[in-house]
Structure 1
Amino acid sequence: MPADLTARALPILMLIASNVFMTIAWYGHLKFKSTPLILVILASWGIAFVEYCLAVPANRWGSAVYSPAQLKAMQEVITLTVFVGFSVLYLGQKISANHLIGFALIAAGAWFVFKAPA
């Protein structure tokens, strides 16, 4: 893979992976509502640690090729995409047209961030 492609792709891949961990940390416990809250919090902290180990370097390395605003916009779109998959596949939730429209509007906002003059 060419260096420029690696510099652009690696932060995105790391942000996707970090979002998988964070989504599990934030929402995975919803299937275990009888588990004491303190145990859920401690488990979530452990999972979130892995998320931070991916997100922090992704943003640091990504800042070499993306602006902070672009990284944040990218993060939001990735977060919503991961959340939709997790919500449907793990939590068994249905995604409505209104959800998709709302998420699409957020993605449109991210598109404008990438089109803004640097």
Structure 2
Amino acid sequence: MPPDYEEAARIDGANQFKLLVHVIVPLLRGPIAIVAAFAFIDYWNAFLWPLIIITDPAKAPLQLGLSMFSGERGTDWGPLMAACSVAVAFSLIIVILMQRQLSRGMNIGGFGGR
């Protein structure tokens, strides 16, 4: 974010809270959306940490449950693909709903706000 915006708000008499709420957050809404979407998708797709920590299969997250479709008798492909579709759907919905903010955040981050 260019420091000129902060200077202009200070000259207009904005305190630290007004500067944050009315200047910084609206300008950085796109990059914040990028970080939030990537963090959600990263935690949603976590596999190794739940595999290490969770001992009760009833409390396993969806991604850990996907590995339970493969066993000693082979893989049950139909239910596995249905569960994979559900696992991907939430990430896809987040990206579709936040598409405008994500594209704005990519443009600001990739080109320096130009």
TM-score range, shorter chain: 0.3 to 0.5
Larger C-alpha radius of gyration, 1 or 2?
2
- Bigger fraction of residues in helix: 1
